[in-house]
Chain A
Amino acid sequence: MSIAYFPGCTLSTNAKGYDHSGREVARALDIPLTELPNWQCCGATFPLATDNSMAFIAPTRILAQAQKVDGHVTTLCAICFHVLRRTQYFLDHRPEMLERINWFTEEPYEGKMRVSHFLEILRDQITWKGVRERVTNPLKGLKVAPYYGCLLLRPQKEIGLDDSDNPRILHDCLNALGCEAVDFPYQDECCGSYLLVSKPELPQKLAESILLSARKHGAQAIVTACPLCQFNLDYPQRLGGGGHMAQGGLPVLYFTQLMAVALGLEPASWGMESHYIDPRPLFANPKG
């Protein structure tokens, strides 16, 4: 029983640390991931125009590839997850669109894939108790703010990963690792996403509010599940520790990186080499 793993473009380039730590964590927890052979970008945005069949080809092709590997595909990138999960839902409800899209793909997609985010596998298969039992280096006393962002949770009806008004999945993950999960009101406010490319001042402003709020509630680090959120929160802090924004810099980590530390994996598997605010000082003195 292997789970198809779709890394996505950004995890293979700018966010290698996420992919690397994710695979190491999966290995440590005996979660059998098989990277999809011959995958391509999912499209990065879920097509919102109802008749845009062309835009659905990319994600459908991924699902068609994955159906050869045991009917279950998972990903770490929240955006890829959002696109694939909603595509699955869309094709489920619009069989005539599925038929049309299949005309354009080399092999037809049958329509019965299970799409999950890696967090769901942790929560539902390994369970948080199971994770806690494997933690050899509990991160006691580390206050971490879980930043959910948007696409991991909304729209509730199609995504259904957690209660989008009161999400707990990242909180539970942090608690399982021994951290103190810090509640803060901006935990599901948008980071600005791809507006980085057209209006970079917008994500910058949004990041300010998010970081300030997290800091105000006592966070020493922020954890996220999306490479674009990670960038939008980390990048603006690059000029001299973030200045007023985060008083010395608030490290923005992927949850898999934190897991790698807590599970006692080698620092080489943490994938923390390319952050703007280096998170490694937080773990300089590992507590036994």
Chain B
Amino acid sequence: MRTKLSIATVRGEFLRQVEAISNENLLACNQCGKCSAGCPIASTMVDILPNQVIRLTQLGIEDVLDSQMIWACAACMNCVAHCPKGIDLPRIMEALRLVAMQKKGDRMAVNQVPLEALGEIPQLAIIGGFRKYTI
């Protein structure tokens, strides 16, 4: 099944939104892959690589909002440290998460975290997690 590209997608509202929320120039990315090469999360188990998240967004393909990767970014900044174009991927991931949640609602609810875990897990994780997965 082919992905249809046109001005409406490649210069469409979706890309503009992500660029505005993140304040990043996504078109500067030439897909060198250094971000993916150093991503500790991508080396474990996600469906697409960070550079592919950027690629799909560059092309205005909104399916990227269904990927696991954007929810798995922990903003460790290993990508930012080495990106030759200085692109801040965590900001782009956050923008994508916000767009996704505006369309489809919160990603996580409190009752999803098992009660025993709530007692053991450091507050930082709970607050941080909920800030990223709810709006």
Contacts and interface: CB of A to CB of B under 8 A. Distances in A.
A and B touch in the complex (CB under 8 A): yes
Interface of A: 8-10, 13-15, 41, 43-46, 48-51, 55, 77, 79, 150-151, 154-156, 164-165, 188-190, 192-202, 205-206, 227-228, 231, 235
A41 to B, nearest CB: 6
B95 A154 contact: no
A193 B21 contact: no
29 contacts: A8-B124, A10-B123, A13-B122, A14-B121, A14-B122, A43-B127, A44-B124, A44-B127, A48-B22, A48-B94, A49-B95, A51-B21, A55-B131, A150-B75, A154-B77, A154-B81, A156-B81, A189-B76, A192-B74, A193-B76, A194-B124, A194-B128, A194-B132, A195-B41, A199-B71, A202-B44, A228-B124, A231-B125, A235-B120
A150 B129 contact: no
Given A194-B129, A197-B129, A155 B80 contact: yes
A189 B125 contact: no
B21 A155 contact: no
Interface of A is mostly: loop
Interface of B: 21-23, 40-41, 44-45, 71-72, 74-78, 80-81, 88, 90-91, 93-95, 98, 107-108, 113, 117, 120-133
A204 to B, nearest CB: 9
A149 to B, nearest CB: 8
Nearest to A150: B76
A235 to B, nearest CB: 7
Nearest to B118: A197
A165 B94 contact: no
A195 B72 contact: yes
Given A48-B22, A154-B80, A202-B44, A10 B74 contact: no
A196 B129 contact: yes
B94 to A, nearest CB: 4
In the A-B complex, the 9 residue pairs with the closest CB atoms: A197-B129, A194-B128, A190-B76, A154-B77, A48-B94, A44-B127, A150-B76, A44-B128, A194-B129
A227 B108 CA distance: 23
Contacts of B95: 48-49
Contact of B91 (A48, A194, A197, A201): A48
A14 B117 CA distance: 12
Given A10-B124, A193-B74, A198-B71, A50 B133 contact: no
Most buried by A among B71, B120, B133: B120
A190 B44 contact: no
B6 to A, nearest CB: 28
A133 B29 CA distance: 51
A156 B86 CA distance: 12
Contacts of A206: 40, 44
B21 A196 contact: no
Contact of A227 (B21, B75, B122): B122
Nearest to A80: B124
B81 to A, nearest CB: 6
Nearest to B79: A154
A155 B77 contact: yes
Nearest to A42: B127
A79 B44 contact: no
Nearest to B127: A44
Given A14-B122, A165-B81, A206-B44, A48 B75 contact: yes
Contact of A199 (B72, B75, B127): B72
A255 to B, nearest CB: 17
B131 A44 contact: yes
Contacts of A193: 74-76, 125, 128
B76 A154 contact: yes
Contacts of B45: 201-202, 205
Contacts of B128: 44-45, 79, 193-194, 197, 228
Contacts of A200: 117
A46 B107 CA distance: 19
